[in-house]
A and B are shown apart, each in its own frame.
Chain A
Amino acid sequence: MSDQIERKQEQRRSTLNRRDFLRSASALAGLGLLAACAPAAQPADEAGPDAPAERTRVRYLSWWFEEGNRGETWNNFVDEFNEYQAEIEVVAENIPFDQYTTKTIVGTQSGQLDGDIVMATPELAPRLIQSDLLVPLDDVLVRNSITDLSSAHDALRKDGNLYGLDMVTVAFGILYNKDRYEEADITPASTPQEWVEVSAALTDREAQKYGFFATHLVSEPSDFWFQLEVWCMPYDGIWAEGTTPLLTSDGIIQGLKLFKQMYDVAMPQGADNPTGYRLFQNGDVAQGLYVSAAVGAFTKDAPDLYPKLRSAPIPWETNKSIARIHPMMINKDSEVVEESMEFVTYMYKPDNYRRMVEGCQDVIFAQPSAARQEYLDGLEWLKPGYFGVDYVTPFDIVGDFVYNFNEFGQIVITNFADVLNAGKSVEEAMEIAQVQAEDLAERIS
């Protein structure tokens, strides 16, 4: 009997009972918690008194670090700056363009703007300025003795302070493949209607050859609206004035009808943006409305096509096109404002700025005195389409909806898609859009 009791006791000692298990688990969890709360241990080689001081990290958010030569240029500048001094380390963080605005806006609403240095689109910038989320950058101009900043920056001022510095201004122009024009024996158009005819002449659907491409799918809303906004230009229309949408105005209706005509006679219908881009690279699409900043990308993406690229004069009387300013800004809530300012100052030194613009193959200089004529003369595609054009900004064409540019654009493209695919007339679709835009105006006012 006593043997049995001893055996049982021995068995109890050797097996883990529930209480022991819970006790051990609690102890382990407690230790884990303590370990997690403890400060990170320094590696042995960095912990000594002679170790170099840790650099202050500055997070720089943009969508372009993976964009061909623009990405390469910016990554090189980040590296260059990090080598140029020993206190600050700028870290480039890429966010795809399609998600950038939404992520920034939602982040803002959830408490604070993400990143220390942020790039902004022409429409995101005023939204951020209006929300008092940024640091004034006038000091950058003083430090670099810049006195000829472009007037496009006026839109980036509030209460006399400048909140953004342009790092790329892109302008829309008609870019074409000269081989396709020569094969069809045609010359650039001089009126909107001629432009449609030229595009139709360049199209042979059976042979999968197309005269023109523009994004037209609602599944690609940012690109669709980004390109559609320029179609108010041919008939000198504007999308809105102040908070009054003008979607049923003659200029807009005529512009959208022109797009529809082009869609019917010259576009690869149903093709998404990557497909359209590929068709242009292959020479299967002859022309498109491209922003100047996109042209440089063809040097890497389509080196065979690049030498064939030319720009056509704007085929409408007003000779107006949209220029879009993309400013660099500093987050007011950043803990490294001064360090961020150092990087922006570095990038805006006239010589660095010029090297950056040339590296990205951009053509519009926010510091006109930094432009080198030899560089501009070397770009065969620059004239005449992107040169001597009267530029307007999104502020001029969408009024106060610039603060709600995406929402406004979503209304336009959703209804206009019904014109392209569901047989609605432009007038009918824009009447509905007008009502929705008025509702939007009421909501945001």
Chain B
Amino acid sequence: MNERVDADALAGRSSGRMPPPRILRRRYLLPFALALPIVLYEGLLIVYPIVQGIYGSFTRIELASSAATTWVGWDNYERMFSDPAFWKVIRVTLLFTALVIVVALTVGLLTALLFNRPFRFRPIARGMLMMPWAIPEVPVVMIFIWILSPQFGVVNILARMLPGVTQNPQWLQVPELAMGWMVLISSWKAFPFYSLVILAALQAIPQELYEAARVDGASRLQLFWHVTLPGIGSTLELLVVLAAIFSFKQFTIIFLMTGGGPSGTTETIVIRIFNTAFRFYDYSYATALGVAGFVVSLAVALVFILMQVRRTQESA
């Protein structure tokens, strides 16, 4: 009986008798109390550092000196926008991100299509598919450094089979090759996750749709184009955004393998931020670069939100 009254009271329906204000206050406060831990966590460990970072980008901070932090206004941003190196870093970052999205998602989609079909030992093969994703990044880097070593690397044996290749290539020292390897290794590391998510989406497509299309005489390509792709469209959209964010912030592989070199050809914005902060100890400028990176990430997330809104409106 009491529960009924309380529910009515909370829903704003009048039953002629309001519960005491103490109970009402408690009921209204409870959701806030439950949300408080996560709000505190987000506030202290995410929002506060971001705000501090934004503040830092308007100051001059010198590491290892007792000089006081000074307010410099937009100086760091003016320097950033007039710095050709910054625009090079942005170009490299966008190129790297775009290539990883294309390679990782394409391979992820192909493997998902493959693993969606029944074959012998499929569960084992699916388990093995996940291995690159499951291995931590540092061991991956160590393995690839050995594979690509100009002196001991196994990949040299294959390269030397190519006509005209008489010496072991400098895989990570030639600008074009270095970028290619960064994209390949990052994609190799990431694609199992995308594959798994796409596989789940593929299995959610009703079989009746395929049967109906086959009855209508659809070819395999048409089945893929008109049934499969629309069926996993929203998943792919999500994965493009996730892949963009993941590859945008890729640090370990690039930092440990090339450090951003040679000639800055693999220096993405996160590597640049690290180098600026912890190698040049130019902390304030690094925070300005960090804010720029944050804005780009935010823009990508915003695109995703807009796409979701549009999709919701369409389906409504």
Contacts and interface: CB of A to CB of B under 8 A. Distances in A.
A404 B170 contact: no
B204 to A, nearest CB: 36
A440 B62 CA distance: 12
Contacts of B64: 105, 108-109, 127-128, 131
Interface in B230-263: 255-263
B107 interface: no
A116 B260 CA distance: 35
A205 B166 CA distance: 11
Contacts of B280: 407, 410-411, 440
Interface string B267-305: 000000001001111110000000000000000000000
A268 B150 contact: yes
B261 A217 contact: yes
Interface string A265-297: 000111110010001000000000000000000
B167 interface: yes
B112 to A, nearest CB: 34
Contacts of B279: 102, 221, 406-407, 410
A202 to B, nearest CB: 16
A218 interface: yes
Interface stretch (A76-84, A171-179, A333-341, A415-423): A415-423
A2 interface: no
A217 B150 CA distance: 13
Which of B64, B151, B263 is the most central at the interface, judged by chain A CB atoms within 10 Å of its CB?
Answer: B64
B175 A422 contact: yes
B241 to A, nearest CB: 30
Given A131-B64, A219-B257, A407-B280, A421 B150 contact: no
Contacts of A440: 280
Given A268-B150, A270-B173, A410-B275, A105 B63 contact: yes
Contacts of B255: 219
A270 B62 contact: no
A221 B267 CA distance: 14
A269 B170 contact: yes
Q: Which of A132, A221, A270, A410 has the most CB of B within 10 A?
A: A270
Residues of B contacting A: mostly: loop
B263 A279 contact: no
A108 B259 contact: no
B65 A221 contact: no
B104 interface: no
B174 interface: yes
A279 B151 CA distance: 9
Interface string B57-94: 00001111110000000000000000000000000000
Given A109-B61, A407-B280, A421 B151 contact: no
Contacts of A219: 255-261
Contacts of B262: 218, 417-418, 420-422
A102 B278 contact: yes
Contacts of A130: 65
Contacts of A270: 149-150, 170-173
Interface string A207-222: 0100000000111110
Contacts of A13: none
Given A108-B63, A208-B151, A270-B150, A218 B172 contact: no
Nearest to A421: B262
A106 B170 contact: no
B145 interface: yes
Contact of A268 (B63, B151, B172, B281): B151
Contacts of A131: 64-66
Given A208-B151, A407-B279, A407-B280, A221 B259 contact: yes
B149 A106 contact: no
A417 B66 contact: no
Contacts of B172: 270
Nearest to B284: A443
- Lowest 8 A-B CB distances belong to which pairs? A219-B259, A218-B261, A421-B262, A270-B150, A422-B263, A270-B170, A105-B64, A109-B63
Given A411-B280, A417-B263, A421-B175, 18 more contacts: A109-B64, A208-B151, A217-B261, A218-B259, A219-B255, A219-B260, A268-B151, A269-B173, A271-B149, A407-B279, A407-B280, A410-B275, A421-B170, A421-B173, A421-B174, A421-B263, A422-B262, A440-B280
Interface of B: 30, 61-66, 145, 149-152, 167, 170-175, 255-264, 275, 278-283
6 contacts: A108-B64, A208-B151, A217-B173, A217-B259, A219-B259, A410-B275
